[in-house]
A and B are shown apart, each in its own frame.
Chain A
């Protein structure tokens, strides 16, 4: 791992390049000598790693249990935020609490954290349905949380079991009602498809149950069996076996949700369309639009200017470093212009809105663009300044993007 000093040195080099925005915060500008083009970060992510149980398929940075450590962790989070606060716009546009299971955190500590956050337009908290009590929902509302992302995954008991989720279908329904009753008018449900043993009828049932709740937003992911996880060891063979049968599941998801009026605005994300509200996940939209973001917490990733860094995933080291008033151990990844441009394409083409190719032509394979256009997978605007994937192109977005990159 790169040491803090190396990281510091890298950011100094970046700073000396006047054409770049200035990396900030702990990495940041000399006190009192802020450069002339100080780009502020408008999007803040906070990672709360604690979970009651680690689901087999999960590869996020999670910490089991953690009762008793929440207080120290929230202290550390706030310390890191303080360290980096100069980077952050006041107020930031979006804040997202992810995990782990943020709602598994001790309510008093969660409240303390929320109270310390700056005001923002969109404040999302991820929640496991079984943690949503009326009291917790009320606490979140009181502290300005205006968007709730519920990790439902499936409504089928046998599939919830495969995923090692603890909620029952009844608990899922109840959690949603509780959220509504507490006043949440922007709720997102997470679904997973491609679960070992999931039939097409199961998927239909999950989509129907989801639509019956009329959530504002739905995220729908194919199960990723990542190599080395316990889940893949247990179910890898079954997944390989059913891979072909499940090929149409993605199409089924898109067809069902769009015909129910949802907008397929990102590869895996859908939202209701309302005249006076844009119900897309604005925090996540920032990632897809290639904007800078600050991530604090154990394992959290930030991207600011030409630098991305990941906090080390060790909870004790994270807490200890911030306890000493130092930044936590970090793994930096400098991003050159070409890499950033490639990421703009990779991310931007996930959206249903055209991607401006200004500044991206060096990393685009124009022959491939033409070829894919002929295959009706890509569309270019008349001036060729914008790229969009066609409906079929979006189903093949990964391969299409790989081909588009020079």
Chain B
């Protein structure tokens, strides 16, 4: 189709502000999906997405409106997937910015709106949920208008739920968003903004063709990764796959590659044709690196092969997921996994437990650190506190630029929390008379545990939060080991700011003391930085453990008691010659994730 009749756009919205509902209405209004086939929030194809009200994997749907081809590119709605969002936005010329009429702008909306502005997208501001009794369409419209710099009369007011105003949205897409302006005659280039895995057909790439034209059976190449494959099938989603013989400049569609490994085709890469390859790839490709790490162990060690298979299968659809085998003395065989962020971790964990029916033990998450043992040695990246050299010259940790939006009465509470977490105030701005946007620099390690929960509870749920990685910076970090019977428990080691080490070490050993059953001997439980013990508790030796009496009538019962006791012991893990029930580690790990 002539590019003049094409519009490519995304929807930017905070969780629950109505992005998926609006997408559903658009599908209905354009007769893309018959009413009877309409499932709530069709675009979110995974159960988990539907349940959590978020979109994890972007997809693209083509609809027709008044003779125009509109391509709706759905974006993942969470902080962990900023890079994917930016690629989806790069595939568009415009974006619908949807704000809940009762809630106003949230941090995430802001972050994605800025991303859209940076990508030179035409923004169509929309206030949704005007049908709600508590709606304040004027207030929300004023905020949005100020943010995107338009007259507030240009802000559309709709109810995606009832369908009110949705036709005006489609008209605005056609009228306000510019058509693509690729060079049809240039060598073919397409941006990969998403991919998924089809077990029969391999990797399916979702692309925006920028220049030229791709045809079925073209030999293709991913320019950054140098992956070669054939375009087995081209097509678009409506919302099911509709094959077409070619995709040309301005169009959005899919390419079936036949590749068996999603990591061979990363989001952000540029496809070109081997017949007439482009000289330069499209800008902006980067390899996303996991920043948050945790050990995943099966609660029942017999489930290790199942966990391995499950991770392999998840990885097919999730190029950002990283894992490698890890052996823990305390927890047995498992995997050290890397995630883009906390939500990504939660999603992987839930999918493993739900879709693969695995019972998992997850260690406290930590971030990636860079360590140098001596001034002249190489920087090494450490993903597991137990791998951190005990003596080192310098450690760097990842920092984020955190963006928090709160009603002004909570500014103090937010600043207090950020200060507790080693935050550095950057600046503050008023979005309206009532609402404040705070920007802090924080170590990522300080937010991986419970920052978000704390933020929610200290602001009665009013705060919204988003962040961007802003690079590595040196920190006064130490490795704290927890020793049971003189031996470090690998799963409990942590890397922490020196200032917090004593307090946390004390808490850990106290908790562990309560969880470890008394043994035949005194068991010292210590927290140590290197050779220096910073906290110590003792599980006192048992003084008495006897079956009081045992005569002819008691023998069977006493024997069964001992056999039971024996079985209990077999389930325990040995650390430093001490029998520790798995529940003890669990309790401490839970403490870690609750803090």
Binding site for B on A (CB under 8 A): 45, 219, 221-224, 247-248, 250-251, 267-268, 284, 287-288, 293, 295, 299-303, 308, 310, 333, 339, 342-343, 346-347, 350, 371-372, 375, 377, 394-403, 405
- Chain B 527-555: CB-based contact to A (< 8 A → 1; otherwise 0): 00000000000000011111111111101
CA distance A405 to B548 in the complex (A): 19
26 A/B residue pairs, CB under 8 Å, sorted by A: A223-B548, A247-B543, A247-B544, A250-B543, A267-B546, A267-B549, A267-B550, A287-B550, A287-B551, A301-B552, A301-B555, A308-B556, A310-B553, A339-B559, A342-B562, A343-B559, A346-B559, A375-B521, A377-B520, A394-B546, A395-B543, A395-B544, A396-B520, A397-B547, A400-B520, A402-B565
* In the bound complex, CA of A401 to CA of B547 (Å): 10
Is B571 positioned at the interface, with any CB of A under 8 Å from its CB?
no
CB-based nearest B residue for A290 = B555
Asked if B558 is at the interface of the complex by the 8 Å CB criterion, the answer is yes
A346 touching B558, Cβ below 8 Å = yes
B547 adjacent to A303 (CB under 8 Å): no
With the chains together, A138 CA to B561 CA distance in Å? 42
Kindly state the separation between the CA atoms of A168 and B360 in the bound complex, as whole angstroms. 60
B569 at the interface (CB under 8 A from A): yes
**CA of A85 to CA of B545 in the docked complex: distance in angstroms?**
39
Instruction: Answer whether A248 and B559 are a contact pair too, CB < 8 Å, given A268-B549, A287-B551.
Output: no
Chain B hits for A293, CB < 8 A: 552
Q: CA A221 – CA B561 in complex, angstroms?
A: 18
B118 near A: Cβ within 8 Å?
no
Q: Judge if B563 is at the interface, Cβ distance under 8 Å.
A: yes
B520 — which chain A residues lie within 8 A by C-beta? 372, 375, 377, 396, 399-400
What CA separation (Å) do A394 and B566 show in the bound complex? 18
Known: A287-B555, A346-B558. A402 touches B544 (CB 8 A): no
A-B pairs, top 3 by smallest CB distance, nearest first, are A399-B545, A402-B565, A301-B553
Write the nearest CB–CB distance from A174 to chain B, whole angstroms: 26
Q: B553 near A299 (CB under 8 angstroms)?
A: yes
In the complex, what's the smallest C-beta–C-beta distance from A256 to chain B, in angstroms?
A: 15
With A399-B565, A400-B520: A343-B546 Cβ-Cβ less than 8 Å: no
From A47, which residue of chain B is reached at the shortest CB distance? Answer: B553
Give the distance in Å from the alpha carbon of A397 to the alpha carbon of B552 in the complex: 18
| Contact call A402/B543, Cβ cutoff below 8 A | no
Residues of B contacting A221 in the complex (Cβ-Cβ under 8 angstroms): 548-549
Contacts of B553 in A (CB 8 A): 295, 299-301, 310
Chain B residues with CB below 8 A from A267, complex form: 546-550
Nearest CB of chain A from residue B329's CB, rounded to whole Å: 18
Interface residues of B in 537-595 (CB under 8 A from A): 542-553, 555-556, 558-559, 561-563, 565-566, 569, 577
Q: Per-position contact with A for B260-301: 1 when CB-CB < 8 Å, else 0? A: 000000000000000000000000000000000000000000
Query: Which residue of B is nearest A222, CB measured?
Result: B548
Contact A397 B562 (CB under 8 A): no
Known contacts A284-B551, A302-B552; 17 additional CB pairs below 8 A are: A267-B547, A267-B550, A301-B555, A301-B556, A310-B553, A333-B556, A342-B563, A343-B555, A343-B559, A346-B550, A346-B562, A347-B550, A396-B520, A396-B544, A402-B565, A405-B562, A405-B566
For chain B, give the interface size range.
Answer: 20 to 34
Docked pose: A288 CA to B552 CA in angstroms: 9
Residues on B facing A (Cβ under 8 Å):
520-521, 542-553, 555-556, 558-559, 561-563, 565-566, 569, 577
How long is the Cα–Cα vector from A400 to B562 in the complex, in angstroms? 10
Quick one: which of A308, A400, A401 has the most chain B CB within 10 A? A401
CB within 8 A of A399: which of B542, B550, B551, B555?
B542
Q: Is the pair A398, B555 in contact by a Cβ cutoff of 8 Å? A: no
Interface of B is mostly: loop
Q: Residues of B contacting A400 with CB < 8 Å?
A: 520, 545
Q: Closest residue to A335 on the B side, CB-wise?
A: B556
CB A106 to nearest CB in B, in angstroms, measures 24
Contacts of B555 in A (CB 8 A): 287, 301, 303, 308, 343, 346-347
Residues of B within 8 A of A403 (CB): 566, 569
Do A398 and B565 have beta carbons less than 8 Å apart?
yes
Chain A residues with Cβ under 8 A from B551's Cβ? Answer: 284, 287
Partner of B545, one of A223, A251, A397: A397
Report yes or no: A396 in contact with B566, Cβ–Cβ below 8 A. Answer: no
Give the chain B neighbours of A45 by CB distance below 8 A: 552
A-B contacts at CB below 8 angstroms, number = 101
Instruction: Say whether A398 contacts B546, CB under 8 Å.
Output: yes
A224 to B, closest residue via Cβ: B548
A287:B545 contact, CB within 8 angstroms: no
A402 touches B548 (CB 8 A): no
**Bound form: Cα–Cα A250–B548 in Å:** 10
Measured in the bound complex, the distance between the Cα atoms of B558 and A398 in whole Å is 9
Of B548, B558, B561, B563, the most chain A CB neighbours within 10 A belong to B548
Residue numbers in B under 8 Å from A394 (CB-CB): 546
Write the nearest CB–CB distance from A185 to chain B, whole angstroms: 24
> Do the beta carbons of B559 and A250 come within 8 Å of each other?
no
Q: Which residues of chain B are within 8 angstroms of A300 by Cβ–Cβ distance?
A: 553
Contact of A295 with B552 at beta-carbon distance under 8 Å, contacts A396-B542, A398-B565, A400-B520 already known: yes
Max chain B C-beta neighbours (<10 A), residue from A251, A299, A399: A399
CA distance A335 to B103 in the complex (A): 73
Give every chain A residue within 8 A of B566 (Cβ-Cβ): 402-403, 405
**Chain A residues, CB < 8 A from B545:** 395-400
Tell me the smallest distance from the CB of B557 to a CB of chain A, in Å. 10
CA distance A403 to B521 in the complex (A): 14
A193, chain B: closest CB distance, angstroms: 10
- The residue in chain B whose Cβ has the minimal distance to the Cβ of A268 is B549
A residues within 8 A CB of B556?
301, 308, 333
Greatest chain B CB density within 10 A among A224, A248, A403 is at A403
Q: Is the CB of A402 within 8 A of B569?
A: yes
Shortest beta-carbon distance, A348 to chain B, in Å? 11
Bound: A287/B559 CA distance, A:
13
A398, chain B: closest CB distance, angstroms: 5
Q: How far is the CA of A333 from the CA of B553 in the complex (A)?
A: 12
Q: How far is the CA of A223 from the CA of B565 in the complex (A)?
A: 20
Closest to B564 in A: A402
Interface contact A405-B563, CB-CB below 8 Å: yes
Residues of A within 8 A of B521 (CB): 375
Is the pair A303, B543 in contact by a Cβ cutoff of 8 Å? no
Task: Determine the distance from Cα of A224 to Cα of B561 in the docked complex, in whole angstroms.
Answer: 14
A377 contacts across to B, CB distance below 8 A: 520
Residues of A within 8 A of B563 (CB): 342, 405
Q: Considering only CB atoms, which chain B residue lies closest to A193 in the complex?
A: B548
Please indicate which of the listed interface residues B549, B561, B563 has the most CB atoms of chain A within 10 Å of its own CB. Answer: B549
Known contacts A375-B521, A396-B546; is A401 also within 8 Å of B562 by CB? yes
Contacts of B559 in A (CB 8 A): 339, 342-343, 346
Nearest chain A residue, comparing its CB with the CB of B562: A402
Q: From residue B262, how far is it (CB to closest CB) to chain A in Å?
A: 47
* A392 vs chain B, min Cβ distance (A): 8
Q: In the complex, how many angstroms separate the beta carbon of A126 from the nearest chain B beta carbon? A: 11
The verdict on A350 contacting B550 (CB below 8 Å), with A375-B520, A377-B520, A399-B520 known, is yes
The closest CB in chain B to the CB of A269 belongs to B549
What is the distance, in angstroms, from A64's C-beta to the closest C-beta of chain B?
Answer: 20
* Minimum C-beta distance from B523 to chain A (A): 12
**Chain B residues near A295 (CB-CB < 8 A):** 552-553
**Smallest distance from the beta carbon of A285 to chain B beta carbons, Å?**
11
Residues of B within 8 A of A339 (CB): 559
Give the CA-CA distance A17 to B547 in the complex, in Å: 34
A219 to B550, CA, bound (A): 12
- Which of A284, A300, A346 counts the most chain B CB atoms within 10 A? A346
Closest CB in chain B relative to A238 CB, distance in Å? 18
Q: How far is the CB of A291 from chain B (nearest CB, A)?
A: 10
Expressed in whole angstroms, the Cα–Cα distance for A399 and B569 within the complex equals 10
Question: Which of A248, A268, A284 is close to B548, meaning CB atoms less than 8 Å apart?
Answer: A268
Contact partners of B547 in chain A: CB under 8 A: 267, 397-398
Taken together as a complex, chains A and B put the C-alpha atoms of A150 and B182 apart, in Å, by 105
In whole angstroms, what is the CA distance A350 to B549 when docked? Answer: 10
